[in-house]
Structure 1
Amino acid sequence: MSSLLLSRLSRLCLRKPPELGVRHLVGARFLSETPLCHIYGAEHCGENWVDGDIGRLMITDFSGPSCWTRVLEKTVPMYMMAETGTMGASHGWVLTSKYGPYLSDDLNPGVSESDFSGIVLPDFETLPHCQTELVTNVAMSSSSPDDEDCILAVKFVGPQLSLCRPAEKNKKWVNIRIEDPAFFNSRVMYTKRDKKFAMPAYGGTHVGYWDLGENLEKPKLCRRGLYTPQLLQSEWEELDLCCTVEELVESRSTQEMFMIKRFRKRNNNKGGRMEEHQIWVFKQGLNRCNPLQWCYTTDIGDLCIFLSKSEPFCLKASSHQKCQNSIYFIDKSERGIFTLGGKCKTSNFSNFTAPYFIPPQSYLNANRSNPSNSP
């Protein structure tokens, strides 16, 4: 245990601590060029005494009308490219657990290797009848954990949700046991509009909201109808064969909230791999009689949504030369685009060990200011 602690502290010594304030100035220069991208992998290039095997970071750049994969000079620990090397990501920050919970910006291509930063977090505290080994995902209330008011949320598979303020000197986890089993496999996100962490229940029947205030012990629950499209019986039977998951994503430029329902199906003709089969989008406010209802839609306008193992985000398509009214998605084996209007998918298959979309810096900057100015 002492050797692990030494390794952790040694790694921190090679980084500029956030408290010095230097990183914000230097980092801003590099982050101004951060592209919209996803992590493709790392090209092994050697080793060092702190991280062991290291590699040059490989990203797929989505900042233009087309995308291409390129190898950067920045090196990252190769263990981050292992299937269990990371636990989740949000706003370009990645949570790892090799030496205990550790939040780093190693995988952010806009942070220079000499300027990258990391925060050691307290060890997870496992609540009775819960587990803290398997993480569903993580979310942050701010684009930087250096912000004093930033809260990190870690959703574990099962009943436990843990919150922490990474910038606090004496940081600690606030652990919440969720009683409703419909949230046990839900993914958490932060809504800037409501200033709370939110999760959709299984099936999208209701949404729960948590924060460090009044909704800490008792979440705010919103039960709203889910108006699904009209389908033939044969279409419903086909969807019944799929695995489903619901996610929430917020458009901070339009103040809209969407619920995404993903249908994934096993392709027995391709070795039994799981593939994206269908994606539905539900939007609040389309029902004039009840503006809080979730209504199915095939038109989200000049927006595109990015879904990955990171916290989801939404961008103006025209501002980033992307396909409007579309969903970009990536998981461990598939990357593609789903066009809502045409209900069609274009995708390719590979092994993505760190399937994270990294937002552009314009999005991250807007998240630290007025949400109405978000891209």
Structure 2
Amino acid sequence: MSQLLFRLSKLSSRNKNVFVQKSVRLLSTSPCLTLCFVWDELLEGGSYIGKAVFYDPAKDKIHHVPGKTIPQELANSKMMGSSQGWGFFSQRSNHNSVCISDQFNPLSSSSKIKMIPLPPLTSMLFGQTKVVCNVAMSSSSPHEEDCVVAIKFFGRQLSMCKPGRDLYWTNRLIPFDCAENSNLMYSKRDQRFYLPAAGGNYLCSWDLNFDNDPKFNELVFPNFPDMPQSTWEALDSCIREDHWVESPSGQSFLVKLYSRVGSKAATVMVLVFREEEDQVTAKGTRNMCYTQDIGDLCIFLSKNDPFCVVASSCPGLIPNSIYMMDHSIAICELTKGTVTRIDLPDIFPLFPFWIPPCSV
């Protein structure tokens, strides 16, 4: 149990000063966390010049990407989500007016920020569009013909559209409650959007055609970690999040995060279950086996769609680990059973979204 339960006594912090690199020209990036955008100068017409600020966990550095020109429309917007390196923004004066932009892509052009308007959001009878849980995209380029963007709102509304092609959103009612405790993601292997259902025993999914009913897969757990009943009872009093994530090779995992209510050191326990692909039944039942070994992989969890990176492709990342962003940046090393918090100097993430690796 000592390797599983991450109590406050097992938390450690990196109190050393994180190196700040004020200006950087990148050709490729490791995964990074969006921190904030700093305005430097107001231009004629209402645009701004400023710098995007990122945290690179592989190098343990803060990067400033200067000289980015932000149009007035983005300056008057708030970031509501991120997927595939693209930010989703809504107008402060009208939350139903939304667009996607590469403003926080570390490699995007500084002088030509891309903005792609999306159709105005519309609320369903039992839905709302003011509070967003997370967003997901089926492609890293919204210009691809089959690219679909999806927004999961607090409550039961799910909205999908094809950027630049659809004139309106297709709204769907999520067929269960409490969906805010799980994040929508896109599976490249299955070409479907996945959302763990409340309770974590079913996986709900939608295809890219919009007009089909959601599909359900039952998740079966043949083994759980051996822990005292008192530990399980303590976990029952925690908040649990379920994250479905896919590795670059198509391997699927279910990550269960347990956290205490009102605790700043939020994460109490992390449980990882690996899908046994050779045991999927004709009815679609999926066997999920508990594991403390995900190999040379890192899983990144925040308020956006979760993703997975091969650690050896980004030197400095810790393999067999989960990088989290909630109340703070934290790294869970599954082998050691420890959680390390990262203290950033005088910066609190205003946009707590991990961005996957990108290159030019």
1:196 Cα deviation after fit: 0.5
SS of residue in 1 equivalent to 2:183:
coil
- 1:297 correspondence with 2:291: yes
Decide whether the 8 Å contact of 2:191 with 2:208 is kept in 1. Answer: no
Of the candidates 40, 48, 69, which is equivalent to residue 45 of structure 1?
Answer: 40
Instruction: Return 5+ residue gaps in structure 1 as ranges.
Output: 1-29, 366-375
Q: Which amino acid aligns with 2:295?
A: G
Q: Which has the higher helix share?
A: 1
Point out which structure has higher relative CO (alpha carbons under 8 A, 6+ apart). Answer: 2
More deviation, 121-130/108-117: 108-117
SS of residue in 2 equivalent to 1:131:
coil
How many residues get paired? 323
1:361 Cα deviation after fit: 1.6
Pairwise mapping of residues 146-225 of structure 1 onto structure 2 (< 5 A)? 146-168=143-165, 170-181=166-177, 183=179, 185-213=181-209, 216-225=211-220
TM-aligned CA distance change 1:277 to 1:287, over 3 Å: farther
Decide whether the 8 Å contact of 1:208 with 1:221 is kept in 2. Answer: yes
TM-aligned CA distance change 1:182 to 1:355, over 3 Å: closer
Of the candidates 261, 268, 276, which is equivalent to residue 256 of structure 2?
Answer: 261
- 1:346 correspondence with 2:346: no
CA-to-partner distance for each residue in 1:190-248, whole Å, 9 max, x for gaps?
001111000001221100110233x7442110112134322112322332332111011
Q: 1:135: which partner in 2?
A: 132
1:172 Cα deviation after fit: 2.1
Of the candidates 78, 81, 87, which is equivalent to residue 80 of structure 2?
Answer: 87
SS of residue in 2 equivalent to 1:86:
strand
TM-aligned CA distance change 1:88 to 1:338, over 3 Å: same
- 1:251 correspondence with 2:247: yes
TM-aligned CA distance change 1:140 to 1:87, over 3 Å: same
- 1:312 correspondence with 2:303: no
- TM-score, normalised to structure 1's length? 0.78
Instruction: Return 5+ residue gaps in structure 2 as ranges.
Output: 1-24
1:278 Cα deviation after fit: 1.5
SS of residue in 2 equivalent to 1:57:
strand
1:145 Cα deviation after fit: 0.6
Taking the aligned partners of 1:360 and 1:208, their CA distance within structure 2 comes to 27
Decide whether the 8 Å contact of 1:87 with 1:96 is kept in 2. Answer: yes
Q: CA RMSD in A?
A: 2.8
- 1:276 correspondence with 2:234: no
- TM-score, normalised to structure 2's length? 0.81
Of the candidates 53, 60, 70, which is equivalent to residue 67 of structure 1?
Answer: 60
CA-to-partner distance for each residue in 1:2-55, whole Å, 9 max, x for gaps?
xxxxxxxxxxxxxxxxxxxxxxxxxxxx98434431112233423345556664
SS of residue in 2 equivalent to 1:337:
strand
